[in-house]
């Protein structure tokens, strides 16, 4: 039996594996980069081994170092999690060659399915070779890896070469393999839905197809909201999806947990790929089937057989991925201190962070996965939306409000969503809707701590106190007064005010505001404000047309032949930043002349760094 497991991963999936191991009495071993020395997964493990460096290429993608760590720490099994080396056949072989148990599929199965081009060949599908106008739109896709990296949608033939170059570069950086291929694009405006089947297979010939999952709500080809079962499928289509998934597993003598992904369009299933690992969204399947997939992975790795038939499903589950990112600003990832993360009771939260942890630049910006399970889809969706609305997320900007609005959008609640959901609705879903009473609540909470020993009121009438806050890009000024009976404000009744809680009454209705302040950032319920100084310092000005780094990261490319003095067109890509495992394109804000170019490949930049200046024509 397995006695000790090393998780060859980080963050929430390592924590997820460790929870199951602890329940089973299995000792846990973590590996960590220098950036993750104090990360939750490192603290949670019984033993931790350092991987020197910070970038994935130097740490979590170094299979040789991870195998040495497992041997040194006395682990007898390795769980790959997802991402990094989880679908690397050479790593699986190295684990086995070291005499360790590999908690995953056979290396031969990984090899057969790890390349999406080879997987399609196994399923009798050929990628496009000579692309014509009739084939458009098409999708350029990395043959290795996943997570939306190395993918580009092409709608004009003139853009194909640039998309191939960009996809190859991103795929090589993320997976060490720059192979890409082209296929017809059935997502977005084509109305396609992303549907997948969870499979589980043992070494005795049994293969389970554990229902379906819908993962259509995506940004940058990465999933945002997932659910099980996929709504609106006919029994016949569901059976066909199960049949194809089992066929894919049997074609490569699969063992362990895996996922077969499809694009469903026009009532027809189109095979996409097989992920030879656990998926981020596996908790919705666990909730519906009442199982622990990691525990089953471990049992299969120990040689145990599955029951002849899988358990019966019950109810519906929905998962939302909480990211440190700004959806209204090109999904730009965010960094900084996560002061607090708390969800209401009754919601499953899988996370790799705790209060006070720092969100860095090296890894994916996902903070957590929140999962709700209920007897019906409508109840599960309502429960998750309500819980996220009450979730405290104090720190960098997140997509929490987007998740709540997405879950309550009529297209989603009716089950009519597709992979083009955010292409159509992002602007409306990210439109600011701040609470107009939040600045007053923030001011009163702050004032309650500044009254001193004898209070802040005066015998003689005095002018109201004034405080200023920035909220949703606008400045708000609020007025309040200290009196013998406490704090007052025009138009409302102040029922209670202390540093953490303010109760205001308007038109006979009382509302409670939970307040938390960290420096000049103030969180009032779900609204975030910035306290402005009473006497602001002169504002730092940048030259018109300055392109500022939207996030800390690395300059990976500058447009070929681009030099100062060149003429550029509005929207023209000038350079590319890599941050949090994604490539971000910086484009010209207007047609004109490139007056300054301050970026070179390999350069590390901070938020607000001036990358270039374009002087408008």
Residue with tokens 């684990």: 95
Q: Is 92:102 a contact under the CB 8 Å cutoff?
A: yes
User: Which residues are 366's β-sheet partners?
Assistant: 323
User: Which residues are 479's β-sheet partners?
Assistant: 466
- Measure Cα distances from 470 to 302, 498, 535, 541, 551 in Å: 57, 21, 14, 18, 20
Secondary structure in 3-state letters for 569-592: CCCCEEEEEEECCEEEEEECCCCE
Rounded-to-integer distance, Cα 232 and Cα 229, Å: 9
Rounded-to-integer distance, Cα 282 and Cα 257, Å: 10
User: Which residues are 390's β-sheet partners?
Assistant: none
Strand stretches in 324-434, DSSP E: 325-326, 332-333, 336-338, 340-342, 348-351, 357-359, 366-374, 392-394
User: Which residues are 546's β-sheet partners?
Assistant: 613
219 is catalytic: no
User: Which residues are 204's β-sheet partners?
Assistant: none
Using left for φ > 0, alpha for ψ between -120 and 50, and beta otherwise, residue 176 falls in left
Output the six-digit token pair for 192. Answer: 């396609």
Residue with tokens 């499809």: 262
User: Which residues are 493's β-sheet partners?
Assistant: 505
Secondary structure in 3-state letters for 422-477: HHHHHHHHCCCCCCCCHHHHHHHHHHHCCCCCCCCCCCCCCCCEEEEEEECCEEEE
Output the six-digit token pair for 301. Answer: 């790795």
Residue tagged active-site, from 27, 277, 400, 405:
277
Catalytic annotation, residues: 277
């Amino acid at each position: 039996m397995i006695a000790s497991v090393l998780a060859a991963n980080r963050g929430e999936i390592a924590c997820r594996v460790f929870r199951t191991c602890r329940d089973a009495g299995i000792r846990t071993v973590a590996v960590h980069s220098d950036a993750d020395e104090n990360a939750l997964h490192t603290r949670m493990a019984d033993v931790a081994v350092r991987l020197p460096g910070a970038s994935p290429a130097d740490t979590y993608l170094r299979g040789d170092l991870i195998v040495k760590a497992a041997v040194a720490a006395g682990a007898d099994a390795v769980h790959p999690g997802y991402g990094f080396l989880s679908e690397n056949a050479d790593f699986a072989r190295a684990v086995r060659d070291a005499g360790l148990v590999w908690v995953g599929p056979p290396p031969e199965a990984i090899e057969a399915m790890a390349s999406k081009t080879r997987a399609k060949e196994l399923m009798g599908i050929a990628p496009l070779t000579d692309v014509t106008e009739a084939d458009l739109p098409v999708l350029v896709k990395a043959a290795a890896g996943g997570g939306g990296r190395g993918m580009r949608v092409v709608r004009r033939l003139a853009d194909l070469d640039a998309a191939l170059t960009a996809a190859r570069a991103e795929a090589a950086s993320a997976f060490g393999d720059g192979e890409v291929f082209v296929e017809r694009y059935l997502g977005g405006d084509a109305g396609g839905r992303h549907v997948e089947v969870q499979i589980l297979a043992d070494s005795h010939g049994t293969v389970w197809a554990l229902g379906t999952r819908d993962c259509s709500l995506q940004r940058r080809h990465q999933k945002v909201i997932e659910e099980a079962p996929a709504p609106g499928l006919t029994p016949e289509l569901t059976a066909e999806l199960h049949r194809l998934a089992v066929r894919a597993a049997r074609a490569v003598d699969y063992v362990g947990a895996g996922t077969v992904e499809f694009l469903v369009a026009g009532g027809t299933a189109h095979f996409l790929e097989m992920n030879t690992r656990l998926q981020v969204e596996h908790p919705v399947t666990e909730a519906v089937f009442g199982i622990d997939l990691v525990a089953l992975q471990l049992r299969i790795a120990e040689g145990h057989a599955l029951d002849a038939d899988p358990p019966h499903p019950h109810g519906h589950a929905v998962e939302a991925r909480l990211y440190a990112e700004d959806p209204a600003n090109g999904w730009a990832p965010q960094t900084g201190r996560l002061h607090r993360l708390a969800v209401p009771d009754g919601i499953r939260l899988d996370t790799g962070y705790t209060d006070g942890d720092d969100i860095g630049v090296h890894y994916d910006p996902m903070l957590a996965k929140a999962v709700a399970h209920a007897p019906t889809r409508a109840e599960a969706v309502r429960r998750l939306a309500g819980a996220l609305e009450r979730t405290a997320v104090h720190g960098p900007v997140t997509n929490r409000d987007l998740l709540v609005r997405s879950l309550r959008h009529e297209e989603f609640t009716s089950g009519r969503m597709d992979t083009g959901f955010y292409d159509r609705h992002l602007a409306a879903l990210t439109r600011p809707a701040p609470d107009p009473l939040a600045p007053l609540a923030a001011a009163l909470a702050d004032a309650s701590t500044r009254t001193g020993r004898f209070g802040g009121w005066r015998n003689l009438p005095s002018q109201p106190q004034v405080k200023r806050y920035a909220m949703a890009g606008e400045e708000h000024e609020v007025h309040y007064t200290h009196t013998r009976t406490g704090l007052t404000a025009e138009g409302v009744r102040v029922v209670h005010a202390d540093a953490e809680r303010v109760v205001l009454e308007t038109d006979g209705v009382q509302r409670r505001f939970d307040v938390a302040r960290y420096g000049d950032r103030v969180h009032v319920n779900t609204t975030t404000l910035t306290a402005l100084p009473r006497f602001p310092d002169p504002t730092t000005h940048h030259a018109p047309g300055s392109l500022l780094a939207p996030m800390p990261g690395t300059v990976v490319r500058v447009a070929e032949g681009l030099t100062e003095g060149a003429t550029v067109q509005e929207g023209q890509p000038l350079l590319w930043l890599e941050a949090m495992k994604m490539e971000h394109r910086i484009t010209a804000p207007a047609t004109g002349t490139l007056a300054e170019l301050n970026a070179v490949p390999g350069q590390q930049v901070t938020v607000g760094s001036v990358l270039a200046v374009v002087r408008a024509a």
